[in-house]
Chain A
Amino acid sequence: MAGVADDVPGGPLAELAGEPLPPAYRWLRTAGWGVARVFSILALAVAWEVAARSGAFTPYMLPSLSAVLERIWTDLIHGELLLNTGVTLYRALTGFLIGAVVGIVLGMAISRNALANWFFDPIISVGFPMPKIAFLPVVILWLGVYDLSKITMISVEAIFPVVTATIIGIRGVERELLWSARNMGAGERELLWQIALPAALPQIITGLQVALPIALIVAIVTEMFMGGYGLGGAMNTASRFADSRGVFAGIVEIAVVGYALVKIMSLVRRRLLLWHQEAVAPSTV
């Protein structure tokens, strides 16, 4: 997909218009862009360190990056980091998986069954845009302050994007596919599992890719609200004790976990959709 981003002096379009560049120069330029990518992250890290050490901010407002990294290292050695990360991941992923399974099954039911469609459609169209996190105190009232309430809250938030994506995906399946399968003698069940579901898979995975970060956001919020173990709980404790290094360490840890999960999810997508034509298209940011 040629875009405006390329339509600048030195962009690929310039090559198309003028004479081709010598390969050595081209290689150099690619390497240059690569350096630039690492550069901006490094620049941010250096800016953080310099700003913190310059004395413009108190160490309470902005602890230096090195101090924060040191703190993360201590957490790692004492095993707290692994424990908290494990607990948070367990909650987020369990909630996400429950939400994914329920969401896909519900989405299939809604797109195949008129009664399910009639009953669930208004609930989903009203429930999707609602900030369901507002129900957190209600969920705590019903299910307590331990894992059950957290995982419930996470899966409730995760269900909605998955259901909607599943419905859209199944509805968008090409009719020719369904017709020819039916023509070859496929029953309703085979039609759903072997034709509609695989054909809807790209959309469904997109829904899962929306739900996963939400699951993590909600996991962190529930942990912050209730305290205890987990990355959110640790940040909660740190901020109660005005331990700003702990707070910043928590942000870095949570950011790394979020980044890793999103990357893994896009790898899963690529793996599951190897057969799909989107596998050849370059991915966006």
Chain B
Amino acid sequence: MREATASRPAVFRFHLLGVPPMKAALLRYLPLLLLALAWEVGARTGLVSTLALPPLSTVAAAWIELLKDGELITNGAASLWRAGAGLFLSIVIGAALGIVMAWWRPVNVLLSPLVEMFYPMPKSALIPVTVLWLGFGNGSKILLIFLGCMLPVTLGAFNGARSSEQVLVWSARSMGANRLRMLWDVVVPSAMPELLNGIRTALALSFILLVSSELIAAREGLGYLIGFLGASGTYDAMFAVVLTVALLGFIADRIYLVLMQRMLRWQA
């Protein structure tokens, strides 16, 4: 189970070849810069129609414009609040559910058929129902993200808690720990690595569901802004928001990764 956390493919290690760190980072991310350059040149030289692909510099200007008139901030705040609230609920309830399922057999027997049934369901199917129940606002997005992200967390917690080493459980018991103490001191920590991986999946899923639901049915939020700008034909601004959303997803994942490594530091 540890391999999944250490699963980043090895990269070209320029810094091991005696290249200074700044230069190494530059060399490593050079392909992305090259892509950006190709974008700019392709659009400027007319190789690609500027209607289909506005030059990167124009997109950057549009981004600053969106930032100045506050569109990006208000819609971004709405989106982040929805994703954050939905994800928070799914982590708290999903983790508790998974650990209880691993800990108490009757709960497992009752709930695991339901988990098995709903886990493979494409969660985007819930978008129209959440709208039907809660309308176009925050509630429907938060409910959707909560429902969509809960099961990966539950499954991570369940698998993690189930795989806690029997020897640890036995020795804790022989040292006189009661069931509740054992749950907290043995089962929960050993569930951590898998649980944290499940949460990472949920984090990625939350962004997908957020953007999808805002594209399809919303009156504010970054996804809505993308759809609105696209429909009105201001493609440079649309590209700016698309890149913002993509970047936010990336940054959220990286921050989470750092937190996760910190939380698992006690592991050898």
28 A-B residue pairings within 8 Å (CB atoms) = A4-B103, A5-B162, A7-B166, A8-B105, A40-B109, A40-B111, A110-B9, A121-B28, A122-B30, A131-B210, A135-B242, A137-B227, A137-B242, A138-B230, A141-B230, A164-B9, A172-B3, A217-B124, A221-B216, A225-B215, A248-B129, A251-B126, A251-B129, A255-B117, A258-B120, A262-B119, A263-B120, A285-B155
Residues of B within 8 A of A186 (CB): none
Q: Which among B28, B123, B230 is the interface contact of A217 at CB below 8 angstroms?
A: B123
Residues of B within 8 A of A239 (CB): 128, 131-132
Residues of A within 8 A of B101 (CB): 5
User: What per-residue 1/0 map shows which CB atoms of B218-246 lie under 8 Å from chain A?
Assistant: 00001100110010000100110110011
The interface of chain A, by Cβ under 8 A from chain B, is: 1-8, 10-11, 33, 36-41, 44, 60-61, 110-111, 114, 117-126, 129-138, 140-142, 164, 167-168, 171-172, 213, 216-221, 224-225, 231-232, 235-236, 238-239, 244, 247-248, 250-251, 254-255, 258-259, 261-263, 284-285
* In the complex, residue of chain B having the shortest beta-carbon distance to the beta carbon of A250: B125
Contacting pair A164 B7 (CB below 8 A): yes
* In the complex, residue of chain B having the shortest beta-carbon distance to the beta carbon of A236: B128
User: What per-residue 1/0 map shows which CB atoms of B115-158 lie under 8 Å from chain A?
Assistant: 11111111111111101110000000000000000000001001
Residues of B within 8 A of A41 (CB): 113-114, 117
Measured between C-beta atoms, what is the minimum distance from A92 to chain B in Å? 9
> Given that A168-B9, A254-B125 are contacting pairs, would A10 and B114 also be in contact in the complex, using a CB cutoff of 8 Å?
no
Flag whether B266 is at the interface (Cβ < 8 A): no
Q: Which among A168, A221, A259, A262 is the interface contact of B124 at CB below 8 angstroms?
A: A221
Q: How far, in angstroms, from A280 to B29 measured CA to CA in the complex?
A: 43
Measured between C-beta atoms, what is the minimum distance from B233 to chain A in Å? 10
Interface of A is mostly: helix
Residues of B within 8 A of A133 (CB): 208, 211-212, 215
Contacting pair A220 B238 (CB below 8 A): no
> Given that A11-B105, A110-B9, A239-B128 are contacting pairs, would A135 and B159 also be in contact in the complex, using a CB cutoff of 8 Å?
no
Q: How far, in angstroms, from A96 to B230 measured CA to CA in the complex?
A: 27
Q: Which among B31, B116, B122 is the interface contact of A119 at CB below 8 angstroms?
A: B31
Residues of A within 8 A of B125 (CB): 220, 231-232, 235, 250-251, 254-255
Residues of B within 8 A of A172 (CB): 3
Measured between C-beta atoms, what is the minimum distance from B133 to chain A in Å? 6
Contacting pair A44 B114 (CB below 8 A): yes
Flag whether B184 is at the interface (Cβ < 8 A): no
* In the complex, residue of chain A having the shortest beta-carbon distance to the beta carbon of B186: A4
Nearest 6 A/B pairs, CB to CB: A129-B253, A262-B120, A3-B162, A131-B207, A137-B230, A239-B128
Measured between C-beta atoms, what is the minimum distance from B165 to chain A in Å? 9
Contacting pair B132 A37 (CB below 8 A): no
Contacting pair A258 B124 (CB below 8 A): no
Contacting pair A224 B124 (CB below 8 A): yes
Contacting pair A135 B246 (CB below 8 A): yes
* In the complex, residue of chain A having the shortest beta-carbon distance to the beta carbon of B14: A118
* In the complex, residue of chain A having the shortest beta-carbon distance to the beta carbon of B127: A224
Q: Which among A135, A142, A285 is the interface contact of B158 at CB below 8 angstroms?
A: A285
* In the complex, residue of chain B having the shortest beta-carbon distance to the beta carbon of A172: B3
